[in-house]
Amino acid sequence: MATPTYRNFREGTGTGAGGEGKSFVSQHGHNEHYNVYESSVAQIGSDNDFHANLVEGGQLGYGYKAGLFDAATPLAFSPAVIVVLQTPMMWDPRNLGDDGLLAMTTKSMFECHAKSVTGIDVNYNLDSGDQPLGHDGQNFKVPTQSKRAEVNPSFTWPEVTGNLVWNIILRWIWDIQDPDTNAGLEFMEDPLPYTMSAYSLTFMAIQYDQTQHPDRIIDAAIFCNVYPQATGEMGIQRTIGTTEVKERAITFNAYLMHNRYTKYLGRQVAYRLNLRSETYLGASPNVQEIDPMFGDFIEGELDNSFGDGYVDGNTNGIAQDRVNTVTNNRTTVEAWNRKRPYASDPGEQRVNPAAGIEGYEVGSQGAGINDQIQPNF
């Protein structure tokens, strides 16, 4: 088992056990114990930059340990960041014959307009089998299968001028299947193959920690095959003396992809978003945008992760662009054409997807998604 590495605010880094290792200095100045470890995924299963040292820093035993309060700092979850990776191919300008407004509006609606997003949490269940043991009625259980819980993302949007939110969801459902003819993609003279790429959306949810540093995101998950279950009621009503401000709560079907590699992808996207560098404290009152500048990057990163040609190639026998990032997924074209400094070069953090995450053998949990998992989107 490898020796842990410890960090010290005042003394740099060191390795070892006992008195040889260094620690974060607590608020009381003690450094003979370890408050926070540098993470080692091989040791504890966490690939976050740092994790609390509960070996020596547990505070709910017989009494508290005043010199190790850093280890008891609670973890705070701020609102997750939503990043749309793919809009429905049926709304690509080449298929729709527009300037990409519908796709760009949908992307912005998911990323920038949702009041709340639920149903995107990640949960694993472990099933058990059992059989009787002894004569007192107890069963002896054995684990049988681990499973990811299904997800149904639910977005709540304030309705805006033009009844825009409700109409986009209605258009989405109508384009998937006409309610009168039952024909899918009927608005297209030469319809796309009726696959999830044609009618569904893909987004990533990134859970930052309080520092918003890309290397320290808590986790990230990808949700594909996303499409609405219903529009919800439009809201037509008549009650004398009553005027309502409408909200749209829309639930979607989705397929969850979550493992250590999706977290790696989340880090790369977080580098390009570079939210930590944005500040509104000194911004002009006329500020209109945050410039993410990662359109070309995410296209290349998805190629690396899902296989060459993922964006422009023919990965599943369908000669269509699988991700509309370059054309559709921009809220402002001008913003994406500008260069900007990054906090760090994400290239330094990359690993070969075929080799999995550093410290792991290739497998479904640490592999590049294209190695053993073949998503059809």
pLDDT in tens, 2-49: 444 444 333 333 333 333 333 333 333 333 344 666 554 445 666 666
pLDDT per position as a tens digit, 100-115: 999 999 999 999 999 9
Distance from C-alpha of 173 to C-alpha of 266, rounded to nearest angstrom: 30
Tell me, what amino acid is at 208? Answer: Y
Task: Find out whether 294 and 169 touch, Cβ atoms under 8 Å.
Answer: no
H/E stretch holding 143:
strand 139-148
Q: Is 252 found in the same domain as 315?
A: yes
Most confident of 246-250, 289-293, 319-323: 246-250
Q: Is 321 found in the same domain as 189?
A: yes
* Share of residues in the chain with pLDDT > 70 (%): 63
pLDDT bin (cut points 50, 70, 90) of residue 290 is low
**Is the per-residue pLDDT at 156 higher than 60?**
yes
Q: Is 177 found in the same domain as 109?
A: yes
Q: Which of 27, 52, 72 is the last residue of a domain?
A: 72
Q: Is 66 found in the same domain as 90?
A: no
pLDDT per position as a tens digit, 241-254: 999 999 999 999 99
Q: Where are the alpha helices (DSSP H) in the chain?
A: 41-44, 54-57, 93-96, 101-108, 164-176, 196-199, 260-273, 295-306, 333-336, 369-372
Mean pLDDT calculated for residue range 235-241: 95
**Is the per-residue pLDDT at 76 higher than 80?**
yes
Distance from C-alpha of 306 to C-alpha of 262, rounded to nearest angstrom: 12
Please check whether residue 239 lies inside any domain of the structure: yes
Q: Which of 72, 98, 113 is the last residue of a domain?
A: 72
Q: Is 62 found in the same domain as 86?
A: no
> Under 8 Å CB-to-CB from 341, ≥6 apart: which residues?
277
Task: Find out whether 365 and 259 touch, Cβ atoms under 8 Å.
Answer: yes
Does residue 152 or residue 310 have the better pLDDT?
Answer: 152
* Per-residue confidence (pLDDT) for residue 98, from 0 to 100: 82
Q: Is 215 found in the same domain as 112?
A: yes
Q: Is 144 found in the same domain as 53?
A: no
Q: Is 116 found in the same domain as 66?
A: no
Summary mean pLDDT of the chain: 74
Please check whether residue 131 lies inside any domain of the structure: no
**Is the per-residue pLDDT at 268 higher than 50?**
yes
> Which residues, listed in sequence order, are joined to residue 252 by a DSSP beta bridge?
228
pLDDT bin (cut points 50, 70, 90) of residue 70 is confident
Please check whether residue 269 lies inside any domain of the structure: yes
Please check whether residue 377 lies inside any domain of the structure: no
Distance from C-alpha of 263 to C-alpha of 284, rounded to nearest angstrom: 34
Please check whether residue 255 lies inside any domain of the structure: yes
* Per-residue confidence (pLDDT) for residue 356, from 0 to 100: 34
Domain housing 321: 81-126+140-372
Please check whether residue 202 lies inside any domain of the structure: yes
Q: Is 201 found in the same domain as 57?
A: no
* Per-residue confidence (pLDDT) for residue 347, from 0 to 100: 36
Q: Is 93 found in the same domain as 187?
A: yes
Distance from C-alpha of 5 to C-alpha of 83, rounded to nearest angstrom: 34
As given in the structure block, the two tokens for residue 133 are 């043991």
Task: Find out whether 207 and 220 touch, Cβ atoms under 8 Å.
Answer: yes
Distance from C-alpha of 308 to C-alpha of 115, rounded to nearest angstrom: 36
Most confident of 28-37, 67-76, 326-335, 340-349: 67-76
Q: Which of 72, 89, 108 is the last residue of a domain?
A: 72
174 closest CA partner among 184, 166, 189, 163: 184
Please check whether residue 206 lies inside any domain of the structure: yes
Which of 84-93, 176-185, 257-266, 276-285 has the least mean pLDDT?
276-285
Mean pLDDT calculated for residue range 323-341: 31
Q: Is 157 found in the same domain as 288?
A: yes
pLDDT bin (cut points 50, 70, 90) of residue 345 is very low
> Under 8 Å CB-to-CB from 198, ≥6 apart: which residues?
88, 89, 90, 185, 191, 192
Backbone dihedral angles phi then psi of residue 257, each to the nearest 5 degrees:
-120, 120
Please check whether residue 367 lies inside any domain of the structure: yes
Q: What is the count of structural domains for the chain? A: 2
Residues 220-259, buried b or exposed e (16+ Cβ, 10 A)?
bbbbbbbbbeebbeeeeeeeeeeeeeeebebebebbbbbb
Does residue 151 or residue 351 have the better pLDDT?
Answer: 151
**Taking the model in full, what pTM does it have?**
0.73
* Per-residue confidence (pLDDT) for residue 261, from 0 to 100: 93
pLDDT bin (cut points 50, 70, 90) of residue 304 is low
H/E stretch holding 219:
strand 219-228
Q: Is 57 found in the same domain as 112?
A: no
